[in-house]
Amino acid sequence: MEVVITTTVEDAGRVVADVVTQALHGGARVLGLATGSSPLAAYRELARRHREEGLSFAGVRAFLLDEYVGLPASHPQSYARVIRTELVDAVDLDPAGVHGPAGDAADVLAEARRYDEALRAAGPVDLQVLGIGVNGHLGFNEPGSSLASRTRVKTLTARTRQDNARFFTGADAVPRHVITQGLGTITEARHLVLTASGEHKAAAVAAAVEGPVTASCPASVLQLHPRVTVVVDEAAASGLAQAEHYRDVLAHKIAGQGY
Ligand code: F6R
């Protein structure tokens, strides 16, 4: 696992954008996309590189991590709509090649299985962008999720509904259920890049990177993956016991080492 600690959120966004850019230049054709606040700086930077430097996503397909049950893709807070606004419309990603679970499917259990199979058929995902919940969730795999889980319907914790209340009229308006890629599904991607910022994420980042591998911190499953890049600002890195070593590694990288 490579841990990159940056001074600001914008710097973290540039590093994540570098990882995505390298993947695209290296021939990546399937991207995994997270929504929420964490990847926004990276998506803004990718949009800038597309506008000003000709970075192209042509021919790339993208798969979302998760979706709220009950929200149609037209709902302003559906992740299908959010990713459209935050990234797809700002670059040359073909909207027809951007996939997510249908939160308004009549049979959401079957929809979760269908999505998992679609991912398997299209995959493996070359690069998966990830955020992390304050409680260590990855995708919407809340604490207690099997580390081997596949895409399925999950129930959000009260904490996550509270955290996401800012996108709705309040916590009660946040859907209770989601369809989320499982931890086993997510870790099939070739390369995982997780980004977090702010002190409220520090404990979760420390548990995921340096704590025991446990379903109690779903993001700790990253430790089992051979290629992970964690990009955090100083506040989110403030709980890391080995922070000095990560900085040292970065300062003395040899050509080709790391992301
Ligand atoms: C979003 C997702 C979630 C978020 C996490 C952090 O697609 O899967 O795991 O990455 O809840 O959310 P933010 O970035 O809003 O703090």
Task: Verify whether ligand 1 is closer than 6 Å to residue 37 (CB atom).
Answer: yes
Which is the closest atom of ligand 1 to the Cα of 160? 11
Dihedral angle computed from the Cα positions of residues 48, 49, 52 and 55, in that order, rounded to the nearest 10 degrees: -140
C-alpha span between 177 and 246 (Å, rounded): 37
Across the beta sheet with 177-180, what order do the strands follow?
Answer: 66-68, 177-180, 152-155
What spacing in Å lies between the alpha carbon of 236 and ligand 1's midpoint?
14
Can you tell me which residue has the tokens 């606004």? 85
Task: Verify whether ligand 1 is closer than 6 Å to residue 219 (CB atom).
Answer: no
Helix crossing, 40-53 with 9-25: angle to 10°?
A: 60
Task: Verify whether ligand 1 is closer than 6 Å to residue 35 (CB atom).
Answer: yes
N-terminal to C-terminal alpha carbon distance within the chain: 10
Could you tell me the residue ranges of all domains in the chain? 2-251
Residue located nearest, by CA, to atom 3 of ligand 1? 139
Task: Verify whether ligand 1 is closer than 6 Å to residue 97 (CB atom).
Answer: no
Which is the closest atom of ligand 1 to the Cα of 201? 16
Which is the closest atom of ligand 1 to the Cα of 130? 10
What spacing in Å lies between the alpha carbon of 66 and ligand 1's midpoint?
10
Helix (H) or strand (E) holding 33: strand 30-33
Task: Verify whether ligand 1 is closer than 6 Å to residue 65 (CB atom).
Answer: yes
33, 35, 174: residue to mutate for ligand 1 pocket, most atoms within 8 A of CB: 35
Contact 237, 229 (CB under 8 A): no
Residue located nearest, by CA, to atom 11 of ligand 1? 133
Residues β-bridged to residue 61: 30
Pick among 3.40.50.300, 3.90.190.20, 3.50.50.60, 3.40.50.1360: CATH of 2-251: 3.40.50.1360
Residues 6+ apart with CB under 8 A from 132: 38, 138, 194, 196, 201, 204, 205, 208, 219
C-alpha span between 94 and 90 (Å, rounded): 11
Contact 164, 135 (CB under 8 A): no
What spacing in Å lies between the alpha carbon of 256 and ligand 1's midpoint?
30
Task: Verify whether ligand 1 is closer than 6 Å to residue 140 (CB atom).
Answer: yes
CA distances from 36 to 52, 137, 231 (A): 25, 13, 16
Cβ neighbour number for residue 251 with a 10 Å cutoff: 7
C-alpha span between 236 and 208 (Å, rounded): 12
pTM: 0.98
Q: Under DSSP, is residue 124 helix (H, G, I), strand (E, B) or coil?
A: coil
Task: Verify whether ligand 1 is closer than 6 Å to residue 196 (CB atom).
Answer: no
Q: What is the pLDDT of residue 77?
A: 97
What spacing in Å lies between the alpha carbon of 257 and ligand 1's midpoint?
28
Residues β-bridged to residue 68: 178
pLDDT values of the chain reduced to their tens digit, one per residue, 259 residues: 999 999 999 999 999 999 999 999 999 999 999 999 999 999 999 999 999 999 999 999 999 999 999 999 999 999 999 999 999 999 999 999 999 999 999 999 999 999 999 999 999 999 999 999 999 999 999 999 999 999 999 999 999 999 999 999 999 999 999 999 999 999 999 999 999 999 999 999 999 999 999 999 999 999 999 999 999 999 999 999 999 999 999 999 999 898 9
Per-residue H/E/C for 157-179: CHHHHHHHHHHCCCHHHCCCEEE
